[in-house]
Amino acid sequence: MDTERSFTLLILCSPSGAGKTTLAHAVQKLEPKLDFSVSHTTRAPRSGEVDGRDYYFNSKTDMLARIERGEFAEWAWVHGNLYGTSHQEIRRCRAQGASGVIFDIDVQGARQLRALYPSEALSVFVLPPSAAILRARLEGRGSEDEASLKRRLGVAAAELGHYQSFDYVLVNDQVDEAAATLHALVVAGRHQQSRMRMRAEALLDELRTLQQDD
């Protein structure tokens, strides 16, 4: 397979407050042909959100029917609402010539995508520099009381327990440095043996043909 045509499903997961969304935007600046996956959700649009740009907003009935028909590559219940990525969204990005798709999802979605697209998925678990910095970032949002802050930290600990199932673990300390490392992982991933097998086998066939001609 030609690496220039290789398509990457870049899966980013992290505890809330680790900065994976900021990191995703930073790596896209380094490779603009990496597209963002637009998820479906049953939650109501927030102020300023646009259907088809921020999310595809669906009714619960409609989304459950789509799930039943197998239209989603990954989906999960999150805080009482459904979220998911359709196969059609991945096909859209592929058809538009993107080099890959960035997924900002949870560990449930990551597990599903890796199972469905084992040769194209590249999963990265993003860590905050420390627990203290994670707490400070959550406190800095100004939307958490002490009880909800403790709940979020508990969820963060539970999510962190899944880091071993990811291909790479990346500490997001300085965003620019972390984005450069993440981009390097994407580029290196295109040269994995499993992705280059067709290219190597084609070259072997050409060499065998040349030997026979001689």
The model's pLDDT over 14-32, given as tens digits with 9 standing for 90+, comes to 988 888 889 999 999 999 9
Stretch among 75-79, 107-111, 130-134, 193-197 having the lowest mean pLDDT: 193-197
At 40, the amino acid letter reads H
Q: Does the CA dihedral 112-115-116-118 come out positive or negative?
A: positive
Element holding 74 (H helix, E strand): strand 72-78
Distance, CA of 155 to CA of 73 (rounded, Å): 24
- Domains of the chain and any CATH numbers: 3-37+99-213 (3.40.50.300)
Stretch among 61-70, 76-85, 112-121, 147-156 having the lowest mean pLDDT: 147-156
Distance, CA of 61 to CA of 63 (rounded, Å): 6
Q: What average pLDDT does this structure show over 96-121?
A: 92
Residue 156 has a pLDDT of 83
Residue 210 pLDDT more than 70?
A: yes
Residue 3 pLDDT more than 60?
A: no
- Model confidence band, residue 72 (pLDDT cutoffs 50, 70, 90): very high
Element holding 198 (H helix, E strand): helix 193-213
Residue 33 has a pLDDT of 93
Residue 2 pLDDT more than 50?
A: no
Phi, psi of 24, rounded to the nearest 5 degrees:
-60, -45
Distance, CA of 98 to CA of 33 (rounded, Å): 5
Residue 26 has a pLDDT of 96
Residue 150 has a pLDDT of 83
Residue 55 has a pLDDT of 93
